[in-house]
Amino acid sequence: MSLRVARRVRSLRRTLIREIFESAPDDAINLGLGQPDLGAPEALRGALAAAAEQGPGGYGPTAGLESLRTAIAGDYPKLGLEAADVLVTAGCQQATFVTLGCLLDSGDEILVPDPGFPGAERAAMAWSARARSYPLLEERGFHLDPEQVAASITERTRAVVVISPSNPVGTVEGPETIEALVEITARTGTALILDDTYRDLCWTAPRAPGIDGSLPEHVVICGGLSKSLALTGWRIGWALSRDRQFMARLVALQQTVLTCASTPIQLGAEAAFTDAGRRGRDELVERFRARREMVRQRLGAACRRAPMEGAFYAWIHAGAGGGRQLARQLLEEDGVVVIPGEAFGQRCAEWFRVSYAQSEPALATALDRIAARLRLG
């Protein structure tokens, strides 16, 4: 007898991103996953080794170690945060999951960007809710239109999700846009969830999240250390909220789904907020900045793409055949893995995403092959 699967998860599958990444041959140059090839800074590796050697190795507080929560709050100096406003999670994705779990009832809705990373959409589905999209249009430079978002809010909308810097598009929403969304969501009684996972990787704009002043109580920030510090496998993230009643519910749900984030890894992550850790982060960020310039130079006029304002992605128009066909050709004929745009939304079939979180020699080779393929198309 097969197990009965709950209706709310029957349509959940691995994302197309993961399917392509995990099925790619070992000898392919993989520009698919947003996974830095670089090692974590020495200060963090040393702190983790010491924590593993010396302990403690037992359970920590469900909300996270107070010392780490204090450090995270301090890394957002303008927002007026304290340790009590921080929940330490197993990555940004888990922070989004518990945040939506505390906001959504069955039949509720959230608004998500299209194109956009599908994490919030999948979390909403798991909570028996539904995601609707607002567009990031090429004619606006792939930036959102606050008034269009406002027009999409209905009586069922419980949250608006914004990813800035954007995955997959690489754009950064400016302070004026974020301020407009804060006002719109406050006026409509809607939560605003800001995913700032890539906030240290802002190339042409101020560091995210773009709020100048205390964090409003209806705004939740979900972030982490995975990208700018090359810690994807450490699974350290956070949810920030100044609504203490909501934070209490977050902590209660966290206990149900996780108990607590790994204690040794939290101790290692504290080094990210020391002078040595910040120097290590700055060095990694500069490596990504140089790779961004490599993408700009090697693709040049060969492609139509979104402005690369942040994160480590290039969002590129695939031409007449569409993103899936080009991705297949690049994999089968050129040995390069990219992600077709349809993995990120309904309006994206003509596009594909390139991650430049790859070693410089491999990246250069892959970009030359992509440019040649685009010229053929």
pLDDT at 310 over 70: yes
What is the mean predicted confidence (pLDDT) over 58-81? 96
pLDDT of residue 377: 64
Whether 224 and 237 have beta carbons less than 8 Å apart is answered as yes
Residue ranges per structural domain of the chain: 7-40+276-376, 46-274
Give me the helix-helix angle, 275-299 and 360-376, nearest 10°. 30
Residue carrying structure tokens 């989004």: 96
pLDDT of residue 279: 97
310 three-class SS: strand
Q: What is the pLDDT of residues 134-173, one digit of tens each?
A: 999 999 999 999 999 999 999 999 999 999 999 999 999 9
Distance, in Å, from the CA atom of 211 to the CA atom of 179, rounded to the nearest integer, reads 7
Q: What is the pLDDT of residues 151-160, one digit of tens each?
A: 999 999 999 9
pLDDT of residue 44: 95
Whether 88 and 261 have beta carbons less than 8 Å apart is answered as yes
Q: What is the pLDDT of residues 71-88, one digit of tens each?
A: 999 999 999 999 999 999
On the question of a common fold for 7-40+276-376 and 46-274, the answer reads no
CB atoms within 10 A of CB 252: 12
Q: How many Å separate Cα 57 from the centre of its chain?
A: 29
Distance, in Å, from the CA atom of 349 to the CA atom of 364, rounded to the nearest integer, reads 25
Distance, in Å, from the CA atom of 117 to the CA atom of 197, rounded to the nearest integer, reads 11
CATH number of 46-274: 3.40.640.10
pLDDT of residue 85: 98
Six token digits for residue 43: 């200060």
pLDDT of residue 206: 76
CATH topology of domain 7-40+276-376: Aspartate Aminotransferase, domain 1 (3.90.1150)
Residue carrying structure tokens 């406002």: 150
* Residue bearing the bigger pLDDT, 328 or 10: 328
